[in-house]
Amino acid sequence: MESFAKLLLTRQSCRAYDPDRPVEEEKIAACLQAARLSPSACNSLPWHITLAEGDAAKQVGNCLRGMGMNKFTVDCPVFAVVTEDDYNATAAAGSKLKDQDYRSVDIGIMAAQFTLQATELGLGSCILGWFDEKQLQALLGTRRRVRLVIALGYPVEGDPLRPKKRKPVEELVSRLR
């Protein structure tokens, strides 16, 4: 319990990546395994990850920095571009019947597990929603919706842990008894 609580307190959106420190393949594989093991509606895992490293990471980074946003990604060595995939038949039926978008929820859960695994391995990450979707789709050669991009790399030496600013539990939770 204590180690999970510490993980939650130390995971933050990295804003400064070490450009000289590549991410080891086994650490990337561990993050992908954490993503693969995430729960999803009817175990459909309705997402696809395209990893971008090297020159491809630079190209993905260019798609993230429109209108002065995400400047910190210039030194990020790895990006995981997450596109929406089809439901399996059971989840598709449930989604239609209940008018629920399970894919967005499932992608969020997957991203949380991916980034928490990264933190445990000493990596920094940042879940990004500001990007040029058309540019990313062209780069990936897909028409599928790009839902988010996860930046992944080592934080620069001395990157400070910022205090968490969150609403109090009392504002977030109601109880019915």
pLDDT (tens digit, 9 = 90+) per residue, 26-62?
999 999 999 999 999 999 999 999 999 999 999 999 9
| Percent residues over pLDDT 70 in the chain | 99
Helix pair angle (89-98, 102-120), 10° resolution = 120
3, part of any domain: no
Q: Are 13 and 76 in contact (CB under 8 A)?
A: no
The number of folded domains in the chain is 1
Predicted structure pTM score: 0.95
List pLDDT tens digits, range 131-143.
999 999 999 999 9
43, part of any domain: yes
Domain that holds residue 102: 18-157
Q: Give the pLDDT band (50/70/90) at residue 17.
A: very high
**CA triple 93-97-100, angle to 5 deg:** 90
Sheet holding 78-84, edge to edge: 47-53, 78-84, 146-153, 124-128
144, part of any domain: yes
| CATH at 57 | 3.40.109.10
Q: Report d(CA 55, CA 60) in Å as an integer.
A: 9
Tokens of 31: 């993050």
Section 85-95 average pLDDT: 93
Q: Report d(CA 45, CA 48) in Å as an integer.
A: 8
49, part of any domain: yes
